[in-house]
Amino acid sequence: MATVKINSNNWKERRVNRGKAVSGLTHECGVFGAIGNKAWPNTSEIAQIICIGLEALQHRGQESTGLVTSEGNNDFHIHKGMGLVKHVFNNDCVGKLRGSLGIGHTRYSTSAKSEQVNCQPFVVHSMHGALAVAHNGELVNAASLRKQVLDRGVGLSTHSDSELITQALCLIPPEGEVNGPDWPARIRHLMQLAPLSYSLCIMLKDRIYAVRDTYGNRPLCLGKIVPSNPEQTNGYIEGEQEPEGWVVSSESCAFISATRYVREVLPGEILEMTKNGVRTVDVVPPPEGKPLAFCIFEYVYFARPNSVFEGQEVYTVRMHCGRQLALEHPVEADIVGSVPESGNAAAYGYSKESRIPLGELLAKNTYVGRTFIQPSNRLRQLNVALKFSPILTNVRGKRIILIDDSIVRGNTVGPIIRLLRRAGAKEVHIRVASPPLRYPCYMGINIPTREELIANKLKDTKEIAKKVGADSLEYLSVEGLVRAVKKEINSTNEVDGHCTACLTGDYPGGIPDELDW
Ligand SMILES: O=P(O)(O)OC[C@H]1O[C@H](OP(=O)(O)OP(=O)(O)O)[C@H](O)[C@@H]1O
Ligand SMILES: NC(=O)CC[C@H](N)C(=O)O
Ligand code: SF4
Ligand SMILES: [Mg+2]
């Protein structure tokens, strides 16, 4: 198992500036792009389609959001702000975002503070017109790339790695350009300069490039805008009709209403979307034959259960994780239940495999938003009590198996066990549908510091069980998780491969020298 090198202070400083949370892994970002077909100006309500997409991607980032549209010229329309999509956009401002193409973003900060100046998409004016970029991910070599870009005489206005990408795209590629800007060559150049990690929507006045890093670390998929027909029951024409346009999104759960899923953008693919359709410009392989490294935590926790990756629905994978967990760690009990909501599918799988009945143990108050930083343990526990209430019918006098998708700091599971015991539970056995989190993520996910991760502080599961007050506590193995992920994989990629670095310390592309934790 690789050990994480302690190096410069660079990363520590960057982590201080990230968004903070009291439980869980804070999410990544969401990107969404849309372009109308054929006749422009397009009547397909591009800004509205992007807004709907961004709301469906809200779980990936709640700090800020933004949308940029183009009417086919370089005067982009821009609206960005701090907060949720529904707060930042209203009918009035969406109406003003005219255009036949556009890109949008929901942000959870990983590099540079959660402030208005760092809201995405970033827009710059290059020698060849305006350029907007929406980015999900985090550049592992941001510090050295920043230096390279600054060395070329380019000024940067923020500390954001996403602005850095935008500026790096303005660099003329080493082979030069013959007839004006060669955007695919610039994108390939960026891919050489920055190996990990990104899914990008890059918008020019008349086209969008959708790009995934060569490891396929962050997700991205393609969809189409279906023709509308008010006479049809659902208002849209289904079937083989020519689409009215194309959309690209971090997750397929955002293809609702007028849009439908088509396929995944491949790792390393540069997809060009214009009014004439969609074409693959290139598929760049990972460096030195390195394996693909799609973030396995998209399956465990980040993505919505109805999103599709590698040809399979996330819900199915979570269910298989639960089944596998039951095989690896059986225990006698009266009822299986979940910590809603990411634990739901795994609890269903555990119940199916173990044949122990499934029941709801906790009612979740959906009106309690994110758990904000609380200064004391007492207040953190209060937060959990506000979020979850035990369902007495299923809890009182029962031996319970409680499934959660992950334990990060242990701030959720401990107080829940206390709630269940107070409600009369006889035994509480915790089963976690992913392996212990022990290492940091440098690819767009905010993993707490070493000291905060409970599986790092306490190496033995018995100690963790004692600490959180469980009768027993067991985790899914890394092999078990990978098996569950690969069970029904139906990928269009010839090979698949997953990043498990936060579980194993085995980083795609190795541990960059600039890192510290
Ligand atoms: O050990 P901790 O630091 O407390 O974090 C772990 C918890 O955080 C997440 O839930 P969250 O409430 O964020 O989201 P969910 O509703 O999707 O499960 C995760 O599903 C665990 O329940
Ligand atoms: N979570 C993300 O994907 C963040 C994207 C980018 N690194 C930012 O901080 O804005
Ligand atoms: S380190 Fe973990 S969270 Fe980060 S990309 Fe890899 S699997 Fe995902
Ligand atoms: Mg949870």
C-alpha distances in angstroms, 372 versus 177, 234, 266, 428?
Answer: 50, 40, 36, 27
Check the annotation: does 342 bind a ligand: yes
* Per-residue pLDDT at 137: 95
Whether 161 is in the pocket of ligand 2, judged by its Cβ within 6 Å, is: yes
Residue 461 predicted with pLDDT over 70:
yes
Torsion, Cα 154 213 79 206, to 10 degrees, reads 90
117: tokens are: 């100046």
φ/ψ of 359, rounded to 5, equals -155, 160
Provide the angle, in degrees to the nearest 10, between the axes of the packed helices 413-422 and 377-387. 60
Tell me the pLDDT band of 233, cut-offs 50, 70 and 90.
Answer: low
The CA–CA distances, whole Å, from 220 to 52, 68, 184, 492 equal 17, 19, 18, 14
* Residue 153 burial by Cβ neighbours in a 10 Å radius (0-12, 13-18, 19+): exposed
Helix/strand number for the chain, H first, E second: 17, 23
- pTM here is 0.93
Mutate to test the pocket of ligand 1, among 251, 253, 300, 301 (most ligand atoms within 8 A of CB): 301
What count of residues does the chain have? 517
Q: Assess whether the C-beta atom of 107 lies below 6 angstroms from ligand 2.
A: yes
The answer to whether 441 is annotated as binding is yes
Task: Decide whether any atom of ligand 2 lies within 6 Å of the 30 Cβ.
Answer: no
- For the CA of 414, the nearest ligand: 1
pLDDT of residue 489: 86
pLDDT of 213 strictly over 60: yes
Q: Rounded CA gap, 124 and 68, in Å?
A: 12
Ligand 2, atom 10: closest residue by C-alpha: 109
Neighbour-count burial for 280-316, b at 16+ CB within 10 Å, e otherwise: ebeebebeeeeebbbbbbbbbbbbbbebbbbebbbbb
Is residue 272 within 6 Å of ligand 1 at its C-beta?
A: no
Q: What is the pLDDT of residue 112?
A: 86
What's phi and psi for 82, nearest 5 deg?
-80, 140
The finding on whether 452 has its CB within 6 A of some atom of ligand 1 is no
CA distance 20 to 185: 37
User: Is 395 in contact with 366 (CB distance < 8 Å)?
Assistant: no
pLDDT band at residue 445 using 50, 70 and 90 as cut-offs: confident
- pLDDT band (50, 70, 90) for residue 512: low
Domain borders along the chain are 16-138+196-290, 318-482
Cβ neighbours, 10 Å, residue 327: 13
Three-class secondary structure assignment of 323-389 = HHHHHHCCCCCCEEEECCCCCHHHHHHHHHHHCCCECCCEEECCCCCCCCCCCCHHHHHHHHHHHEE
The C-alpha atoms of residue 5 and residue 7 are separated, in whole angstroms, by 6
**In this predicted structure, what is the pLDDT of residue 384?**
81
CA of 173 to the centre of ligand 2 (A): 25
Flag whether pLDDT at 376 surpasses 70.
no
- Which ligand 1 atom is at minimum distance from the Cα of 21? 3
Residue 493 binned pLDDT confidence (cut-offs 50, 70, 90): low
To the question of whether residue 114 is assigned a binding role by annotation, the answer is: no
Domain spanning 318-482, CATH architecture? 3-Layer(aba) Sandwich (3.40)
**Ligand 1 atom, smallest distance to 411 CA:** 4
What is the distance in A from the centroid of ligand 4 to the CA of 350? Answer: 16
CB 36 within 8 A of CB 274: no
Nearest C-alpha neighbor of 201 from the set 217, 187, 216, 181 = 187
| More confident position, 258 or 210 | 210
Residue 235 vs residue 37, higher pLDDT: 37
Give Cα 504 distance to the centre of its chain. 20
Strand partners, 283: 269
DSSP secondary structure letters along 236-277: B--SSSPPSEEEEESSGGG--TTEEEEEEPPTTEEEEEETTE
- 502 known ligand binder: yes
Ligand 1 atom nearest 339 alpha carbon: 22
CA of 405 to the centre of ligand 3 (A): 15
Q: Are 149 and 171 in contact (CB under 8 A)?
A: yes
216 pLDDT exceeds 60?
Answer: yes
SS (H, E, C) 32-79: EEEEECCCCCCCCCHHHHHHHHHHHCHHHCCCEEEEEEECCCCCCEEE
Q: Is the pLDDT of residue 370 over 60?
A: no
Non-local (6+) Cβ contacts of 256 within 8 A are 52, 56
Which residues are marked as active site?
29
Q: Which of 138, 302, 502 to mutate to test the pocket of ligand 3 (most atoms within 8 A of CB)?
A: 502
Nearest to 200 by CA among 164, 153, 172, 150: 164
* Cβ 368 vs Cβ 340: under 8 Å: no
Q: What is the pLDDT of residues 386-439, one digit of tens each?
A: 889 999 999 999 999 999 999 988 889 999 999 999 999 999 999 999 999 998
CB count within 10 Å of CB 155 equals 7
DSSP state of 5: P
Q: Name the residue at shortest CA distance from atom 8 of ligand 3.
A: 295
Range 103-132 average pLDDT: 94
pLDDT at 41 over 50: yes
The more confident residue out of 109 and 273 is 273
For residue 202, the cross-strand partners are 133, 209
- pLDDT score of 17 more than 80: no
Class of 16-138+196-290 per CATH?
alpha beta
Ligand 3 mean position, distance from CA 415 (Å)? 27
Compute the mean pLDDT over every residue in the chain, rounded to the nearest whole number: 89
122 touches ligand 2 (CB under 6 Å):
no
pLDDT of residue 7: 41
The structure tokens 């302690």 sit at: 6
The verdict on the CB of residue 371 being under 6 Å from ligand 1 is: no
* 27 pLDDT higher than 70: no
∠ at Cα 310 (306, 313), nearest 5°? 20
Residue 170 annotated as binding site = no
Residue 133: strand pairing partners: 122, 202
3-class DSSP state for residue 12? helix
Out of 443, 500, 517, mutate this one to test ligand 3's pocket (max ligand atoms within 8 Å of CB): namely 443
pLDDT band, very low/low/confident/very high, at 494 (cuts 50, 70, 90): low
* pLDDT-based confidence at residue 6 (cuts at 50, 70, 90): very low
Q: Could you identify the atom of ligand 2 that is nearest to the CA of residue 161?
A: 7
pLDDT reported for residue 178: 87
What is the atom index within ligand 2 of the atom nearest the CA of 446?
Answer: 1
Mean pLDDT score, 1-20: 46
Query: Which pLDDT score, from 0 to 100, does residue 288 have?
Result: 83
